[in-house]
Amino acid sequence: MKPHVVVLGGNFAGLGSAQKIRETCGDSVRITVIDRKNYLLFIPNIPAEVFEDRDPSKTLKMDIASALDEDGVEFLQAEIKAIDPDKRQVDFIPNERPGSAPDTITYDYLVVAVGNRLAYDKIEGFAEHGHTVSDFYYGNKLRHFLANDYKGGPIAVGSARFHQGDGTKDIKLYGGHAFPTAEAACEGPPVEVMLSMASWLGRHGKGGPNKITVFTPANLIAEDAGEEVVGKLLGIAGSMGFNYVNNSKDITRLTKDGIELASGKKIDAELKIVFPDWVPHDFMKGLPISDSEGFVVTDVTMRNPKYPNVLAAGDAAAITVPKLGGIGHAQCEIVAKQIAKDMGKMAADEADKPLEPVVYCIGDMGNNMAFYIRSNSWFGGPDQILTMGHIPFLLKMQYKNLFFKNKGKMPEWGLNASILLAEKLLAA
């Protein structure tokens, strides 16, 4: 019997892991992916669709069963309920139709790629007064609010506090750099939203950047992009008229009139666009593979130290900080190489190359412009690149088109070409 690899989650990290495992291991393994939904939600482009008044559920959905089928990967549409690393088994409930009986699946290798719970339900007042852009439902809710209800009042954009857990405390990166601690899970989106919101205001004759306040629980917004990059971004944003509040600590509550912050400060706002804490799913908490919060503990080769046949990729992994798809993408390759090594398909020196995280982010700014960041300085690496303009916007849109066309398989040259275009051409 071929070893059975079960991949939990079928969005960026789950799909990417399954495809890379097939690529590196060939038909030496059987692969099954489990997800509660049968499509990929292309999250990073939701803000761009919303501010152009397009329904993201029509443009950003990709069928995963057919993508996996091309690689001979089985797909189960089911709600994952529990993992037992000692019995090597996962409990699930098929969820195509209500009323299905609980079932189990056993594995030789488990890849945990279930992302996190975006905990809007922990923010008091969010349901009544909050907006966001992290899925189709909320994206469309904001789209309708902007089209029908927004009266032109002040706008606040920012994040709740992130709780990183202790799963990264022993990890060293880039040859010995201690793992940094983040106070927000992912601050590319608030920066992107503040810039595109300002373009939207201008296009609709409703004002400009001075109506918008961006806030961060940290001392510096998007600090993982590197101090130099953020310094430049803040300089540009300040000269455009944006308001900035740092050290907000956390969001205490949203009200009709604004946002109350844990720092004691209050921001007046008619429109409140917020990003929550990224919290591990309940079934991940208290497991022997999880850290103090429920993120999967791994080493820099994405293997759990206590259960080396359990690997993780994407937002579910403790080592994925900030919670960025780009970092998850690199982890999918590492996961696949580790399993390929065990299958005798790859030499150890090639497979064991450690994760070297890079913040790689292209954020929409509206008006067919985008910012491009490639930085690893926060993790101890040497690079901090920021460019802005039409080319990064084209790259963002083309990345999505290529992703859909290739059903998630991104050629290596795609990334290299992006770096060349965004960094070299724009700098010329």
Tell me how crowded residue 411 is: count the other CB atoms within 10 A of its CB. 10
| Of 29-37, 164-172, 230-238, 301-309: span binding ligand FAD (CB under 6 A) | 29-37
| Of 43-51, 65-73, 234-242, 299-307: span binding ligand FAD (CB under 6 A) | 43-51
Residue 366 sits in the site that holds ligand FAD (CB under 6 A): no
Complex with ligand FAD: residue 35 or 183, whichever CB lies closer: 35
| Of 169-177, 181-189, 214-222, 334-342: span binding ligand FAD (CB under 6 A) | 181-189
Complex with ligand FAD: residue 81 or 253, whichever CB lies closer: 81
Among 71, 79, 299, 356, which residue sits at the site for ligand FAD (rule: CB under 6 A)?
A: 79
Omega before 322 within 30 of 0, i.e. cis? yes
Distance CA 186, CA 164 (A): 12
Residue 315 sits in the site that holds ligand FAD (CB under 6 A): yes
Interface pattern 213-252 for ligand FAD (x via CB under 6 A): ----------------------------------------
Distance CA 203, CA 170 (A): 49
Interface pattern 184-213 for ligand FAD (x via CB under 6 A): --x-xx------------------------
Q: DSSP labels for 168-211?
A: TTT-EETTTEEPP--SSS--HHHHHHHHHHHHHHHHTTS--GGG
- Indicate the Cα dihedral angle 289, 293, 299, 302, nearest 10°: 70
Cβ 344 to ligand FAD shortest distance, Å: 28
Cβ 331 to ligand FAD shortest distance, Å: 9
Complex with ligand FAD: residue 179 or 403, whichever CB lies closer: 403
Identify each DSSP E strand in 36-159 by its residue range. 39-41, 61-63, 74-84, 89-94, 103-106, 109-112, 117-118, 130-131, 155-159
Contact indicator for 167, 318 with CB cutoff of 8 Å: yes
Interface pattern 260-299 for ligand FAD (x via CB under 6 A): ---------------------x------------------
Residue 133 sits in the site that holds ligand FAD (CB under 6 A): yes
Distance CA 338, CA 151 (A): 54
Cβ 408 to ligand FAD shortest distance, Å: 11
Residues in contact with 393: Cβ distance below 8 Å, sequence separation at least 6, in sequence order: 362, 364, 365, 368, 369, 370
Contact indicator for 214, 221 with CB cutoff of 8 Å: yes
